[in-house]
A = this chain, B = another copy of it.
Amino acid sequence: MEKDISQAVIRRMPRYYRYLGDLLDAGVERISSSDLSKKMHVTASQIRQDLNNFGGFGQQGYGYNVQYLYDEIGKILGLNESHNMIVIGVGNLGQAVTNYVKFDKLGFKIIGLFDTNPEKKGMDVRGIKVQMMDELPDFLRKNKVDIAALTLPRANAETTARELVELGITSIWNFAHVDLDDVDGIVVENVHLSDSLMRLSYNALNSNKIK
């Protein structure tokens, strides 16, 4: 069933998860879809539609049980299990990703750092020593890795992605400013910072809020 769910819905699920987590932190036990809708600035019918993709979770006249909904969305997003992650490219961005404690809390554990620059070999980031790319095959024989974050120059991204697929890593969190559409067999999530900045530029230019 879940295979037919549109990426627009998937795009909103982490946001639900985040708001429900905030409600839990605030001690809220249940919430009506209309209150949740006000808080999230989306319509109540949007929320109901989105959640109905996964079978609902609300009860007429009761609303949503916050803990239950939080846990269920967590399961949908795979957050009930932990995932091992490696970072490839240990420049500023790679180090920022490695130091981001939030990922750890969500169950994404960074267990290896890899680079091609010999000067970075052995460098310590958050207790993890940088290894060279040619050490990756051996590392993968000894460790289960679910996700690779690519924080490297775009020129190297596609080749590296193909290498990863050959080594059995198919989930790629891609920060390089290139799409990896031509790499077969991967599941890719792009973080294109320049694209994001351009959207901000466009929206700022065209906003009524700005004179």
- Spell out A's residues near B (CB within 8 Å): 2-3, 5, 10-11, 13-15, 17-18, 40-41, 76-79, 83, 91-93, 95-97, 99-100, 102-103, 106, 108, 146-147, 170-173, 177-179, 181, 185-189, 191-210
- A179 to B185 Cα, complex, angstroms: 33
Q: Which single residue of chain B is at the shortest CB-CB distance from A97?
A: B193
Residues of chain B lying within 8 A (CB to CB) of residue A179? 15, 41
Given contacts A18-B177, A18-B194, A102-B194, 12 further A-B contacts (CB under 8 A): A14-B198, A18-B192, A18-B195, A76-B202, A77-B199, A77-B202, A83-B201, A106-B198, A170-B209, A171-B204, A189-B197, A189-B203
Given contacts A177-B102, A191-B196, contact A205 B96 (CB under 8 A): no
Residue in B40, B108, B188, B197 whose beta carbon sits within 8 Å of that of A197 in the complex: B108
Given contacts A3-B208, A92-B99, A177-B102, contact A198 B79 (CB under 8 A): yes
Residues of chain B lying within 8 A (CB to CB) of residue A97? 193
In the A-B complex, the 10 residue pairs with the smallest Cβ-Cβ separation, listed nearest first, are A189-B200, A14-B195, A92-B96, A14-B198, A78-B201, A171-B204, A96-B96, A93-B96, A77-B198, A92-B99
